[in-house]
Structure 1
Amino acid sequence: MAAAISTLSILFMVWTIKAVDGAGIGISYGRAASNLPPPVQVAQVLAHSATFDCVKLFDLRFAHKWVRTNIVPRVDDTNNARILVGNEVISTANRSLVSSLVPAMQNLHTVLTSLSLQHRIKVASPQSLGVLSTSNPPSTGKFREGRVAEVMRPLLSFLRATGSPFTVNAHPFFRFAVDTVDYALFRLNPGVEDQNTGLVYSNMLDGQLDAVFSAIKRLGFDDVDIVISETGWPSVGDPRELGVNVDNARDYNKNLVQHVSSGTDTPLKPNRTFEAYIFSLFDENLKPGPLSQRNFGLFHPDLLPVYIGVLTTEVGGHATAAVQTLNPNTLRFKTMVHSEAEHRRPIVA
């Protein structure tokens, strides 16, 4: 499966020493831009962040060699590492890539087992909500038939057998409408009732997660954990893109941090907490698609915050980020294999 894995990019995660027991907030450090600051400068901004437990860095390399040369030497510093193979692979039209996904994951797990790392480093694969045929109400969540169903059962079997989570890119931004914007942004709203269960949802993200849980449970894998591998909201978009502005971006990410950090559960699984990664640390000027795709960042490339309230605070009327000297002894490392995919939201007339 070397050919299949070589098409994937590797995602390197830096964890602070802060422990994460099932729930935590991370930030995606995508680098699809030509004007980003040096990584060491970024590390100084994030090293002592009180908000984020982890950071994702994207880097394209060959998986087997990367595991041996980058993970093994740092294994003593590795804490609950995870390798993510691909990004939304099952939603693509590439049948060859879809069919190679689980074998590639099994191959990586075999490599880790040969190095006695299988208990410390898990293998997973982030999927989009597009793998669901139904998601509303959440209790009706179901995976699509055909090739999605064909690969989903072996994928979930692998995750269960290896103790890995099902990772999902959950973006309320791509699903909300004019009358559900407050529901999508965790703002005060009347809630949405699932008439099948009588459960009331106060925000769209919880509904999306429970729809995924329902789909997983329908296949008999409700013991597999769920991780939010990506979620966020853009601050700038094309004129016809609905709900794209600084206020909404700030509110979504700020409220997300509060929601996840509080340990709040979801209606269908009240004892579950989530690990979530905000997309993204920086605006990325090389991203394809609508203008919003290049403006999910919390920071501009010059390290000035796009808005205050998530990683930044206001001091004397000026936005500031806590910048301190990076101390390698306070870091833990995570690793992921990851390939980026475009996200597109329909233009609203």
Structure 2
Amino acid sequence: MQTLQTSFVAASLDGQIRVSTPHSLGILSNSTPPSTGKFRQGYDTHVLKPLLSFRRDTNSPFMVNPYPVFYCSPDTLDYTLFRPNAGVFRPNAHLDTVYSAMKLLGFDDLDIVIAETGWPSLGDPIQVGVDAETAAEYNGNLIRHVTSGVGTPLMPNRTFETYIIALFDEHLKPGPTCERYFGLFRPDLTPAYDIGILRPTVAAAAANIQHATCLLASEARDDAFVTTTTPVPTTTPSYQMRRYDGKQRLCLLEMSADENGLRRNIEHECSSLSPIHECKL
């Protein structure tokens, strides 16, 4: 970062471009209550204090990546989604914890930027509130909150520069299912959901789009090009599973889709999986 800053100064761009780096909440060792927040021992003085000093010298913000979805339970869903509740909002708690940790090192004057946050529209069954409606609620309420000027309990009357991840779903991304479905849009450019940023005609069309969701199962065997049918719960239509080059591809069908629309969407989605594909109702 020092090298980048030196380059920008030499090019007279330091007033236009600020150098920073984002941090996960893994830098914290204590977060409850937020007023007692502190950075992990060892990282606090040897890593983060010099970084914060650089931020102050260059007037750049401290950037964090809070993902409340990964801390969510049925009991804390309202608290996480900015719904009325008896306490505060979890995103506020995350920011205040970071603020307290910075204050402990003497850097409470620096701006905090939310470099990444978001909510997946699809995930694994064990996850709480992972669907398109909840994703729209979180991101929509987040935008309204961070731009309202209300701030947080420890940082009142402030707005926060915030970046929502991601613009598009990333269907080839490894890891849990939810990691592939943080997008506001699907890879075919259709909206995954609307958080109030779409034009009215696009928003209306998005509400009526029917999709087949294609998932990649990592535990597939190497018997390529074998089609099998797997039983699923009675509340879900049966699906066809086809393996390509040792990887399972699943197309899960929505209950509300009509047959013609469903077939068109399945064929469109599955066509991206392999030059050889077969989609059946």
Q: Do these two structures clear the TM 0.5 threshold for a shared fold by scoring above it?
A: yes
Alignment of 1:29-178 (within 5 A): 105-178=1-74
Say what the alpha-carbon RMSD is for the aligned residues.
1.8
CA separation of 1:148/1:217 partners in 2, compared to 1, >3 Å: closer, same or farther?
A: closer
Deviation at 1:264, TM superposition (A): 2.1
CA separation of 1:221/1:317 partners in 2, compared to 1, >3 Å: closer, same or farther?
A: closer
* Amino acid paired to 2:61: P
Aligned partners of 1:233 and 1:252 also within 8 Å: yes
Deviation at 1:134, TM superposition (A): 0.7
CA separation of 1:313/1:106 partners in 2, compared to 1, >3 Å: closer, same or farther?
A: same
CA distance in 1, matches of 2:80, 2:40: 24
Q: Percent identity?
A: 56
Q: Alignment partner for residue 301 of structure 1, among 162, 169, 187?
A: 187
CA distance in 2, matches of 1:287, 1:250: 22
Deviation at 1:188, TM superposition (A): 2.0
Higher RCO, Cα 8 Å, sep 6+? 1
CA separation of 1:319/1:254 partners in 2, compared to 1, >3 Å: closer, same or farther?
A: farther
Deviation at 1:148, TM superposition (A): 4.8
Aligned partners of 2:119 and 2:182 also within 8 Å: yes
CA distance in 2, matches of 1:317, 1:310: 8
Q: Counterpart in 2 of 1:253?
A: 139
CA separation of 1:184/1:313 partners in 2, compared to 1, >3 Å: closer, same or farther?
A: farther
Q: Counterpart in 2 of 1:328?
A: none
CA separation of 1:320/1:306 partners in 2, compared to 1, >3 Å: closer, same or farther?
A: closer
Q: Counterpart in 1 of 2:157?
A: 271
Aligned partners of 1:312 and 1:319 also within 8 Å: no
Aligned partners of 2:193 and 2:206 also within 8 Å: no
Q: Counterpart in 2 of 1:65?
A: none
Aligned partners of 1:232 and 1:278 also within 8 Å: yes
- Whether 2:160 is the aligned partner of 1:290: answer no
Aligned partners of 1:283 and 1:299 also within 8 Å: yes
Aligned partners of 1:156 and 1:166 also within 8 Å: yes
Q: Unaligned stretches of 5+ in structure 2?
A: 208-281
| Higher Rg of the two aligned structures | 2
Partner SS for 1:145? coil
Q: Alignment partner for residue 229 of structure 1, among 94, 115, 122?
A: 115
Aligned partners of 2:194 and 2:203 also within 8 Å: no
CA separation of 1:289/1:310 partners in 2, compared to 1, >3 Å: closer, same or farther?
A: farther
Deviation at 1:247, TM superposition (A): 1.5
Deviation at 1:317, TM superposition (A): 8.3
Q: Counterpart in 1 of 2:257?
A: none
Aligned partners of 2:27 and 2:43 also within 8 Å: no
Q: Unaligned stretches of 5+ in structure 1?
A: 1-104, 192-200, 322-349
Deviation at 1:312, TM superposition (A): 2.5
Aligned partners of 1:253 and 1:310 also within 8 Å: no
CA distance in 2, matches of 1:228, 1:319: 31
Aligned partners of 1:287 and 1:294 also within 8 Å: yes
Q: Counterpart in 1 of 2:272?
A: none
CA distance in 2, matches of 1:266, 1:233: 21
CA distance in 1, matches of 2:48, 2:14: 22
CA distance in 1, matches of 2:134, 2:199: 17
CA distance in 1, matches of 2:11, 2:168: 35
The TM-score, its normalising length taken from structure 1, stands at: 0.57
Deviation at 1:248, TM superposition (A): 1.0
Q: Counterpart in 2 of 1:207?
A: 93
Aligned partners of 2:149 and 2:159 also within 8 Å: yes
* Amino acid paired to 2:26: G
- Whether 2:76 is the aligned partner of 1:190: answer no
Paired residues in the alignment total: 207
Aligned partners of 2:148 and 2:159 also within 8 Å: no
Partner SS for 1:319? helix
**Which one has a larger percent strand, Structure 1 or Structure 2?**
1
Deviation at 1:272, TM superposition (A): 2.3
CA distance in 2, matches of 1:228, 1:267: 17
CA separation of 1:128/1:298 partners in 2, compared to 1, >3 Å: closer, same or farther?
A: same
